[in-house]
Structure 1
Amino acid sequence: MKAQKGHGAKLTRTPSSLLRSPTLRSSVNILSTVDEAAAADVDDSDERKPHHLRGRGRPHLPCRPLLPALLPLIFFLFLFVVLVHLRDDTTLLSNLLLAAVVVSLAYIAARQSRFLTLRCLGVQRGESVQWFIGDGDRESKKRKINGKMVREGVEFYSNGDFYEGEFHKGRCNGSGVYNFFDKGRYEGDWVDGKYDGYGIENWSRGSRYRGQYRQGLRHGFGLYRFYSGDSYAGEWFSGQSHGVGMQTCSDGSCYAGEFKCGVKHGLGYYQFRNGDRYSGEYFGDKIHGFGVYNFANGHCYEGSWHEGKKQGFGAYTFHNGDIRSGGWDSGILMSPLPPSNQAIHQALRAARKAAENAILVPRVDEQVNKAVTSANRAATAARVAAIKAVQNRMDGKFCDTNV
C-alpha cells in the first residue's frame, strides 16, 4: 500500500489491500464491527485506542440509552416464561413453533439494540464510520515516531509485485526489497525508484546476480550465475557483460577476456570442454582475426580466422612435426605455400602476438569480489528495512513519503 501523506488520510478498502494486506484487512474488520467501537466508553482517551485509531469527531451525548440496556433483561424474562410453558403437556408442533418465535424475537431484539445504540451515538443507518491515523491534527503533514520520521513502508502494485523498504518523495529510495510476482526479488540500494548502487537479484528459476547497478541496470562489476550452471564474473555496462570478464560454463569450458554488448569480442582465451585451447581475437562471439588454436591431440593452427573457421594465411602443425601452410578457405587448405613464404611468416607473427596479448588481458577478480561483498551488505540492509516496513504496517504507522 502507498504510504499516507497526512494524518487525515482515510482508511479505505481496495481490492488490492484486501487481497494482500493483513494490516488493512484488520482495519476493515474494525470498520465492520462498528457497534463494538460505538458502544465503547466515550470518555476513554484516544491515546489508548489500538494502533492509534481515533474518530474524526464525536457528537454530544446528553444521555446513555436505557432501552438497549433493558432489552436483555426483557428477553431473559420472556425466555423463562417460555421454558415454563414447555413443561406443560402440549403438542410437539406447538413447542417447535413457539421455539421459532423465541429465536425470531431474540434476533429482532439484538438488531434493535444495536440500531438504537448507534442512533444514540449519532450514527444514521446507511452511514459509514471513518477512522484516521494520527493524533487527530488535520493540519499536521508529518508523523514522527520517537522523534524520527517513519521512512519505511510497503507498497503494492497492480501486477502483483510489492515493495518493502525506504521511501523518499514518493519513490523507492535507500534500502529495500522488491518482490516480483512469482518471478523473483531484488534486495539492495535504490535511487529514485530504480536499482542504483549495490544489490542482489534472485529469480525463481535459480539465476542470481550480485554486484553493482546504475539507473536500474547492471553496471560496474558483478557476478551472474545462471540457473543452467553457467556464470559470468566481470564488468557490466547498461545491463550487459561489457569490458573484461570470465565466462564459465557447466560443461567445463571457460572464456577469459574481453566482451562487448554481451558477447565475446576483442582479445580472449578459451578453454574448450574437450581440452582444446584458443588464444587470440574474437569478433561478435566468434573466433575472428588472428590467433593460435591448440588441439587436445597435440595439433596446432596459427594464422588467420574468419567466423570460427581457418581463413586466409596460416600454418597447421601436426603433433609429429609435419606442417601444412598456405592460403585457407572455410577451413580447407586451398593454396599450399612453404612456411618460409613472407605472407605465411607475417600471418604466424600476427597470430602469436594476438595469442600473447589475449593471455595478458588483465583479470578483474579482485574488483568482482569487492562488488559481491558490497552487494551482500546492501542486501542485508535492505532486508532490515523491509522488516521495519512490515512492522510499521502492522502497527498502523505509515511513512511520510515527502521527507
Structure 2
Amino acid sequence: MEPQHSHGGGKLTRTPSSLLRSPTIRSSFQALSSVDEDASHHHHTPPSSPKPKPKPKPKPRPKSNPNSIFTPYRTSTSHPLFPLLLPLPFLLLLFVFISYLRDDSAFFTNLILACFLMLLASIIARKSMSLFPRRRQVSCVQWFIGDADTTTGASTPKKEKTNGKCVKEGIEFYSNGDCYEGEFHRGRCNGSGVYNFFGKGKYEGDWVDGKYDGYGIESWARGSRYRGQYRQGLRHGFGVYRFYSGDSFAGEWFNGQSHGIGVQSCSDGSSYYGEFKCGVKHGLGCYHFRNGDRYCGEYFGDKIHGFGIYNFANGHCYEGSWHEGKKQGFGMYTFRNGDVRSGEWDCGSLKTPQPADDPSVQRAVLAARKVAENAMRVHRVDEQVNKAVNAANRAATAARVAAIKAVQNRIDGKFCDTDD
C-alpha cells in the first residue's frame, strides 16, 4: 500500500532567520562626515520649529554561524586608522605656526611637503578600503509546512538540524491506522523503512518515491511471506512466496505475478518446475503428482495441453497429444506388462484403434518425446532466487535499523528531510 502525503491543512510559516537583514557598511570617513553634518544641522536649526529628522529603525544584526568561515561585518563609526588620523590636522597646524615664528623657511618647506604626502597617503588608503570590502553573511529564507495534515490525519515531522547533520528518519501515521517508520526524501518514503498495515501485516525493505522498489520482505498476519525483488510497488524479478497453507513459489515475477521460470511446491507433496505466464503454468514443464505420477510436456493456461509424456506410478505410460488435461488426438498407451494400445483418442478414451507403426501415431509419439526432453532441460533459476532472498534479508535488516532510528528521532524531536 502506498502511503499518501498531502499538506492541505498545514499552515505556512516563516522562520525568524528570514527576517534578518545585513547592516549597511560604512567607512570611518563616511561616518565622520555624517557626524559633522548632523552636528551642523542641529546647530543651525532654530528652536522655534523643531522638526527632528526621523531616525531609521535599526536593523537587527545577523547571528553568527559557527559553521561558516565568514563572520558578519560589524558596523562601527571607528576605524583602525581613525585614532591616528584624528590629531593629524592639529599637529600640522601647530608645526606650521612654530615654523612661522622661527622664520625657518627650509623647515617650513619640508613640513608642507610632508603634510602633502600624508594627505595623499590617507586618500590612497581610503580608496583601497573601498575597493576591498569585507564579506557579509547572507541569511536565507526558510519555509516549511505546519505540523498536522487534517486531510489524511498524518502528522508531518518537523525539520531541524542537529550538530550540522541532517536527520532523514521519521515516523508517519495514516488515518486508516497504518504507520511508516524509516527514511524520507522530499516528503515521501524513500530509502529503507518499515510499513505496518493495521492488523494485516508489514513490509520491510527498500523504497523509491513512496513505493516498494528494490529488495524487501512482505509478511501478512495469516502467515504468508514474500522475500525478493520489487519494482514500482509490485513483486518483480526473483523471489520466494510462501503461502500460509504451505504452498510456495520460487522463481521469476513480473508485475506482481509469477511469470517466467520457477518452482511451485504444494503442501500435499506435489510440485511443478517449468514455465509460467501471468501466474499460471504455461509452456514447458514437469509436474510431479502426490500419488507418484509424473508428466513432462506442454502446458496451456494451467492445464496439460499439447504434446507430452505421462508416466503413471503403476508403470503405465502414455505418449501423444493432449487437450485440456485429457488424452486427445493420436497417441500410444503402453501398459506395465508391455501391451500397447494406440490410435486416435477422444476425451481420454481410445476412439479409433490403430497399429503402433501407423505414421500418424508415430509422429505424435516422436513429438511427445521431443517436447518432454525439452521440458526436462529447462534451465533452473535456483541461484538467482537465492541471491534475491539474501539481498531481501539484508534490505529488511537495514529497514529495521532505520525504523529504530525513526522512533528515537521522534522521541528526541529531531527530523530534517533532505531535499538534495
Q: TM-score range by the shorter chain?
A: 0.5 to 0.7
Displacement after TM superposition at 1:150 (Å):
1.1
Are positions 1:270 and 2:287 aligned together? Answer: yes
Q: Matched residues in 1 for 2:306 and 2:164: separation?
A: 66
Give the aligned partner of residue 53 of structure 2: none
Higher relative contact order (CA 8 A, sep 6+): 1
8 Å contact kept, 1:6–1:400: no
Matches within 5 A, 1:16-35: none
8 Å contact kept, 2:281–2:302: yes
Residue 175 of structure 2 aligns to a residue in which SS? coil
2:383 equivalent among 362, 366, 371: 366
Q: Which amino acid aligns with 1:315?
A: M
Displacement after TM superposition at 1:149 (Å):
1.0
Displacement after TM superposition at 1:216 (Å):
0.3
User: Which 4+ residue blocks in structure 1 deviate beyond 3 angstroms?
Assistant: 1-9, 137-142
Matches within 5 A, 1:202-217: 202-217=219-234
TM-score (ref. length: structure 2): 0.63
2:339 equivalent among 315, 319, 322: 322
8 Å contact kept, 2:194–2:205: yes
Give the aligned partner of residue 239 of structure 2: 222
8 Å contact kept, 1:5–1:402: no
Q: Which amino acid aligns with 2:310?
A: Y
Residue 358 of structure 1 aligns to a residue in which SS? helix
Cα separation, partners in 2 of 1:350 and 1:139, compared to 1, 3 Å: closer
Are positions 1:349 and 2:366 aligned together? Answer: yes
Q: Matched residues in 1 for 2:315 and 2:163: separation?
A: 74
Q: Matched residues in 1 for 2:303 and 2:342: separation?
A: 23
Q: Deviations 1:30-68 (Å, cap 9, x if unpaired)? A: xxxxxxxxxxxxxxxxxxxxxxxxxxxxxxxxxxxxxxx
Matches within 5 A, 1:43-62: none
Q: Which amino acid aligns with 1:259?
A: F
Q: Matched residues in 2 for 1:211 and 1:147: separation?
A: 36
8 Å contact kept, 1:312–1:329: yes
Displacement after TM superposition at 1:241 (Å):
0.2
Q: Matched residues in 1 for 2:180 and 2:13: separation?
A: 22
TM-score (ref. length: structure 1): 0.66
Q: Which amino acid aligns with 2:195?
A: Y
8 Å contact kept, 2:204–2:218: yes
Are positions 1:183 and 2:239 aligned together? Answer: no
Matches within 5 A, 1:150-299: 150-299=167-316
Q: Matched residues in 2 for 1:144 and 1:161: separation?
A: 27
Instruction: Name the count of aligned residue pairs.
Output: 276
Q: Matched residues in 1 for 2:333 and 2:261: separation?
A: 30
Residue 343 of structure 1 aligns to a residue in which SS? helix
Displacement after TM superposition at 1:398 (Å):
2.6
Unaligned 5+ residue runs, structure 2? 16-139, 145-158
Identity %: 77
Q: Which amino acid aligns with 2:417?
A: D
8 Å contact kept, 2:161–2:416: no
Q: Deviations 1:71-113 (Å, cap 9, x if unpaired)? A: xxxxxxxxxxxxxxxxxxxxxxxxxxxxxxxxxxxxxxxxxxx
Q: Deviations 1:136-162 (Å, cap 9, x if unpaired)? A: x98476621232211111111111111
Cα separation, partners in 2 of 1:8 and 1:165, compared to 1, 3 Å: farther
Are positions 1:340 and 2:357 aligned together? Answer: yes
Q: Matched residues in 2 for 1:385 and 1:265: separation?
A: 41
Displacement after TM superposition at 1:255 (Å):
0.2
1:394 equivalent among 396, 404, 411: 411
Q: Matched residues in 1 for 2:309 and 2:271: separation?
A: 17
8 Å contact kept, 1:218–1:237: yes
8 Å contact kept, 2:161–2:414: no
Q: Matched residues in 2 for 1:340 and 1:267: separation?
A: 27
8 Å contact kept, 1:7–1:138: no
Q: Which amino acid aligns with 1:374?
A: A
Taking only aligned residues, the RMSD between alpha carbons, in angstroms, comes to 2.1
8 Å contact kept, 2:166–2:415: no
8 Å contact kept, 1:315–1:326: yes
Q: Matched residues in 2 for 1:174 and 1:6: separation?
A: 27
Displacement after TM superposition at 1:5 (Å):
11
Unaligned 5+ residue runs, structure 1? 10-136
